[in-house]
Amino acid sequence: MKSLRIGDLKIKMPIIQGGMGVAISLSGLASAVANQGGIGVISAAAIGMTEPGFEKNYRNANKTALRKHIRRARELSDGVLGVNLMVALSDYDELLKVSIEENIDVVFMGAGLPLKLPQFVLDQGFENIHTKFIPKVSGAKAAKLIFSYWASKFNHIPDAVVVEGPMAGGHLGFKKEELLEDNISLSTLIRETVEVISVFEKQFNKKVPVIAAGGIYTGKDMFEIMKSGASAVKMGTRFVTTHECDADIKFKESYINSKKEDITLIASPVGLPGRVIGSEFVDKINNGETRPFKCPWKCLKSCNFKEVPYCISQILNNSAQGKLDEGFAFAGSNAWKATEIQSVKQVFDELKEEYNLIEAHFAKKLSLMKRPKVAV
Ligand SMILES: Cc1cc2nc3c(=O)[nH]c(=O)nc-3n(C[C@H](O)[C@H](O)[C@H](O)COP(=O)(O)O)c2cc1C
């Protein structure tokens, strides 16, 4: 397995753990992944809900908790660490500032296009920063938009890009109809994005890795998507059923107990479809039951608490704490494949073994095809 390079950052294993809010990937999981040579990612989405008294000052709690988890992860690992930020968060700028101040290695940005990021970095007076910036997109079109904008306005491009396909867990950048039609392939999205990005790589004389996410679960999945041009993979679902994942055991068990047909979609108040593990609670929500609430902090820029059926942060926080009768577990299409809780090391060992096996098989097939035919 080839290591990954993002600018001057060397990552031994081309495996990135997807940031999972609310409180699914904190310092525990992130440090364990970083210790195995991948990139461990802390999700900043509603991270303040892990902080006592967060109701009084949610924004401060978010900043305090993020700083705390970055520092804790650094104590537990000297590997490569990232933070996942949703552009749709109302305190996105503040959390971005904390991440850069804490000298995090990588910031991943999803749920929106981070067009203004270079301007923010300039305005804040950050200079010679070590942090790498990586947007997450759902295909070549969005990638081109971000790269063109940064290139023309700031003479700069992102350090890498994550392409997340339709099989991913959590909020999805596709319409419900597209997801139900089931005819978008991640390998096509990767090939198209690699092509678009190559133009910018030439223009800026900079290598920009394209990272694949969504439905990657085994070493074989990794091998196949990397054959399509991905330089690394980003996996969320696979890391949920690990001892080190920061969620309650009931959350992890909901993966292990799920069947393929249980994985379903909800219409999230964020305005995007979300993939979850079906449950009685999901049925209630999908049948129009609501959980009215009052919100003093408005965690999402676009959320109007008087109009949405429930608070997405509260529901996700409930499930992270194992209260699955009042919450749902975000999960990728392959969540049902989990059969046991493993250590992060076991996951890495399995992925490496499977990858190496398929690579050797592929190399053998290739050499047989190349062998000159002997006349008889
Ligand atoms: C439980 C869970 C929570 C997630 N939360 C977030 C999040 O808060 N922000 C985000 O950008 N992506 C989130 N994701 C997406 C992951 O970062 C990652 O891109 C995705 O899981 C990759 O697909 P996979 O689950 O099939 O491996 C979440 C995924 C899961 C499974």
- Calculate how far, in angstroms, residue 110's C-alpha sits from the geometric centre of ligand 1: 10
Q: Which atom of ligand 1 is nearest to the CA of 18?
A: 17
Confidence of residue 21 (pLDDT cuts 50, 70, 90): very high
Q: 204-257: per-residue pLDDT in tens?
A: 999 999 999 999 999 999 999 999 999 999 999 999 999 999 999 999 999 999
For position 303, what pLDDT does the model report? 83
For position 113, what pLDDT does the model report? 94
d(CA 137, CA 248): 29
Q: For residues 284-292, give the mean pLDDT.
A: 91
Given a cut of 90, whether residue 292 has pLDDT beyond it is no
Q: For residues 87-102, give the mean pLDDT.
A: 95
For position 117, what pLDDT does the model report? 95
Share of the chain above pLDDT 90, in %: 86
- Calculate how far, in angstroms, residue 151's C-alpha sits from the geometric centre of ligand 1: 28
For position 258, what pLDDT does the model report? 98
Q: 314-333: per-residue pLDDT in tens?
A: 999 999 999 999 999 999 99
Domain boundaries defined on the chain: 4-247, 255-326
- The larger pLDDT score, comparing residue 301 to residue 118, is at 118
Given a cut of 90, whether residue 372 has pLDDT beyond it is no
| pTM score, whole prediction | 0.96
For position 127, what pLDDT does the model report? 87
- Calculate how far, in angstroms, residue 205's C-alpha sits from the geometric centre of ligand 1: 31
* Ligand 1, residues at Cβ distance < 6 Å: 18-21, 24, 43, 45, 84, 86, 110-111, 164, 167-170, 213-216, 234-238, 240, 330-332, 334
Mutate to test the pocket of ligand 1, among 29, 42, 43, 109 (most ligand atoms within 8 A of CB): 43
For position 374, what pLDDT does the model report? 67
Given a cut of 70, whether residue 301 has pLDDT beyond it is yes
For position 375, what pLDDT does the model report? 65
Which protein residue has the closest C-alpha to ligand 1 atom 19? 18
For position 306, what pLDDT does the model report? 86
Confidence of residue 294 (pLDDT cuts 50, 70, 90): confident
Given a cut of 80, whether residue 15 has pLDDT beyond it is yes
- The larger pLDDT score, comparing residue 330 to residue 371, is at 330
Topology, domain 4-247:
TIM Barrel (3.20.20)
For position 187, what pLDDT does the model report? 97
Q: For residues 329-342, give the mean pLDDT.
A: 98
For position 376, what pLDDT does the model report? 60
In this structure, of 72-86, 140-154, 230-244, 357-371, the range with the lowest mean pLDDT score is 357-371
For position 61, what pLDDT does the model report? 95
Q: b/e map of 292-319 (b: 16 or more CB within 10 Å)?
A: eeebebebbeebebeebbbbbbbbbbbb
- Calculate how far, in angstroms, residue 292's C-alpha sits from the geometric centre of ligand 1: 26
Q: For residues 259-267, give the mean pLDDT.
A: 96
